């Protein structure tokens, strides 16, 4: 390759994994407003320099950030209504906390019913009260992002017009993007299209303010880019030629993983698989624009399911589970060579968990990307377990657990007695504060970065878990409450950061 990623982005630092939906607040879901900035202040006071979060796109099936309606767009539910009110686009009386919205978890349907009408009201207000400079800013945003925004806004407007059904079930002419149908629908839905553009404008205005606030305080954002996109997304509808689809627009093969730690039948994710041959002929231009976009949003990118770039698990679409699949070769270094030519060295963390073969490791090392170590995977084996800290290479990122794992308290409670004794023997401690013991182990390790889910800092049990892989419903809902984070938490993190040079 022409160049190697520099080590500038990989520093000996600590941080916290928390998706913005989990922030507290009065409107049923965390957002990009006051509480997000307050969390940045906590990170700063605790000596942490990294805020890792999940993908920021508009969630689709099961409310998963990994099945977004777009690889480029932001989630409207993360827009701060209070910020819109301060800007005069909503009246404060409209923001009286909705007593039907729980504070302890996200009820996505209820949040949508509450927030989307208010976003529409903000749009109408913007049309009538926005100054010329604000209107120009909106127009400039739409022009700058037109390569993805026009298709996304039309897709969302069409989806609303069709009662929310998947795009392959729309009328054949618009599902197939025939020119006459596109022109007709753009005319009929012009106002709805503009509304969805406005929502993205507001998301990215608020996001840029939050990122700047974090960066000014020495906090870097670690974002997340899923390797695959959702079937029902603007990406697949607008670029069907890049995916394995049949004549009706439905996938012929889908993504997943074979049986593993999480599931005896594997995981059938259902994402359509790429036509890497066609992407290659186009110079991977779609991927270049995808990376270009996320690199304007975050400071470091975690690539989810990195092993799929070497080989991915292909499951025939008519199977309901993932056991009967096959490994298919991915694009390997060719994709990343062109990404680096276009964008320069990539600040990437490679999620290399699961079934990792030697060729996957060789690809990661050739690219110079650090991999991930998860302490929950370290015990119950032997002293050569690669997740045990004494086996780490310095160029890696260590986690107590990830969004796919149980909390540390829940994990330890579920271990067998033999496994628990092995954990305590390695730690050299008792079990009274197992979450802090694992946090200390992560911070003390040679890994350059150490990331801890907020649930572990708070010492929460399995009920606070963010995701159970393979479970279609009930995930992604956890929130913490005002007052949960105390100065004591910040002090303990500061002490560990100072002690272990982070």
Distance between CA 239 and CA 363 in Å, rounded?
28
- Strand 311-316: give its sheet, edge to edge: 267-272, 253-257, 311-316, 326-329
Given a contact cutoff of 8 angstroms between Cβ atoms, the answer to whether 295 and 343 are in contact is yes
Report the SS3 class of residue 399.
strand
Domain ranges, ordered by start, for the chain: 13-73+217-499
Active site residue 232: no
Q: According to the model, what pLDDT value does residue 355 have?
A: 83
Distance between CA 26 and CA 31 in Å, rounded?
10
Given a contact cutoff of 8 angstroms between Cβ atoms, the answer to whether 221 and 13 are in contact is no
Given a contact cutoff of 8 angstroms between Cβ atoms, the answer to whether 343 and 291 are in contact is yes
Given a contact cutoff of 8 angstroms between Cβ atoms, the answer to whether 234 and 145 are in contact is no
Q: According to the model, what pLDDT value does residue 2 have?
A: 40
List the chain pLDDT tens, one digit each, 502 residues: 444 545 589 999 999 999 999 999 999 999 999 999 999 999 999 999 999 999 999 998 899 999 999 999 999 999 999 999 999 999 998 888 777 899 999 999 999 999 999 999 999 999 999 899 999 999 999 999 999 999 999 999 999 999 999 999 999 999 999 999 999 999 999 999 999 999 999 999 999 999 999 999 999 999 999 999 999 999 999 999 999 999 999 999 999 999 877 788 898 999 999 999 999 999 999 999 999 999 999 999 999 999 999 999 999 999 999 999 999 999 999 999 999 999 999 999 999 998 899 999 999 999 999 999 999 999 988 999 999 999 999 999 999 999 999 999 999 999 999 999 999 999 999 989 999 999 999 999 999 999 999 999 999 999 999 999 878 889 999 999 999 999 999 999 999 999 999 9
Active site residue 404: yes
For 71, 403, 471, the CA distances from 468, given in Å and listed in that order, are 23, 9, 6
CATH number of 13-73+217-499: 3.20.20.80
Helix (H) or strand (E) holding 118: helix 108-129
Q: According to the model, what pLDDT value does residue 6 have?
A: 52
β-bridge mates for residue 398, sequence order: 373, 450
| Set 31, 314, 404, 406: catalytic member | 404
Distance between CA 333 and CA 271 in Å, rounded?
23
Active site residue 351: yes
Q: According to the model, what pLDDT value does residue 466 have?
A: 98
What pTM does this model have? 0.96
| Set 224, 232, 235, 304: catalytic member | 304
| Set 351, 406, 437, 456: catalytic member | 351
Per residue in 93-121, is it b (16+ CB within 10 Å) or e — as a string? eeeeeeeebeeebbbbeebeebbeebbeb
3-state SS of 441-452 is HHHHCCCCEEEE
């Amino acid at each position: 390759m022409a160049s190697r990623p520099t080590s500038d982005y990989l520093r000996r630092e600590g941080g916290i994994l928390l998706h913005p939906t989990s922030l507290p607040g009065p409107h049923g879901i965390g957002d990009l407003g006051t509480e997000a900035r307050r969390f940045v202040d906590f990170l700063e006071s605790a000596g942490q320099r990294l805020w890792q979060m999940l993908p920021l796109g508009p969630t689709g099936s099961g409310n998963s950030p990994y099945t977004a309606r777009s690889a480029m767009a932001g989630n409207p539910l993360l827009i701060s209504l209070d910020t819109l009110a301060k800007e005069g686009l909503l009246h404060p009386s409209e923001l009286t906390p909705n007593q039907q919205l729980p504070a302890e978890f996200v009820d996505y349907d209820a949040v949508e019913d509450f927030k989307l009408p208010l976003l529409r009201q903000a749009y109408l207000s913007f049309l009538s009260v926005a100054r010329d400079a604000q209107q120009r800013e909106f127009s400039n945003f739409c022009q700058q992002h037109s390569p993805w925004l026009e298709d996304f806004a039309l897709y969302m407007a069409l989806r609303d017009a069709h009662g929310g059904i998947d795009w392959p079930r729309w009328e054949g002419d618009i599902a197939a993007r025939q020119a006459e149908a596109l022109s007709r629908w753009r005319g009929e839905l012009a106002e709805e299209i503009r509304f969805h553009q406005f929502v993205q404008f507001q998301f990215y205005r608020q996001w840029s303010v939050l990122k700047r606030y974090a960066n000014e305080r020495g906090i870097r954002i670690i974002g997340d880019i899923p390797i695959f996109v959702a079937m029902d997304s603007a990406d697949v509808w607008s670029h069907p030629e890049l995916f394995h689809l049949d004549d009706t627009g439905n996938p012929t093969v889908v993504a997943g993983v074979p049986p593993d730690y999480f599931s005896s039948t594997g995981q059938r994710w259902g994402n359509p698989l790429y036509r890497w041959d066609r992407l290659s002929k186009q110079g991977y231009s779609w991927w270049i624009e995808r990376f270009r976009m996320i690199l304007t949003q975050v400071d470091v990118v975690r690539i989810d399911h990195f092993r799929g770039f070497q080989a991915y698990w292909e499951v025939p679409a008519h199977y309901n589970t993932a056991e009967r699949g096959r490994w298919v070769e991915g694009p390997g270094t060719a994709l990343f060579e062109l990404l680096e030519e276009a964008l320069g060295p990539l600040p990437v963390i490679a999620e290399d968990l699961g079934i990792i073969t030697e060729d996957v490791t060789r690809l990661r090392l050739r690219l110079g990307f650090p991999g991930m170590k998860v302490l929950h995977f370290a015990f119950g084996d032997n002293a050569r377990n690669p997740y045990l800290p004494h086996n780490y290479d310095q160029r890696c990122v260590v986690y107590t657990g990830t969004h796919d794992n149980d909390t540390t308290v829940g994990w330890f409670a579920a271990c067998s007695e033999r496994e628990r004794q092995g954990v305590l023997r390695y730690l050299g401690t008792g079990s009274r504060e197992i979450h802090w013991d694992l946090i200390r182990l992560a911070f003390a390790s040679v890994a350059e970065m150490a990331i801890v889910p907020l649930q572990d800092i708070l010492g929460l049990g399995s009920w606070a878990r963010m995701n159970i892989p393979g479970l279609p419903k009930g995930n992604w809902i956890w929130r913490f409450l005002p007052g949960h984070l105390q100065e004591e938490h910040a002090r303990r993190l500061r002490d560990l950061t100072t002690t272990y040079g982070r």
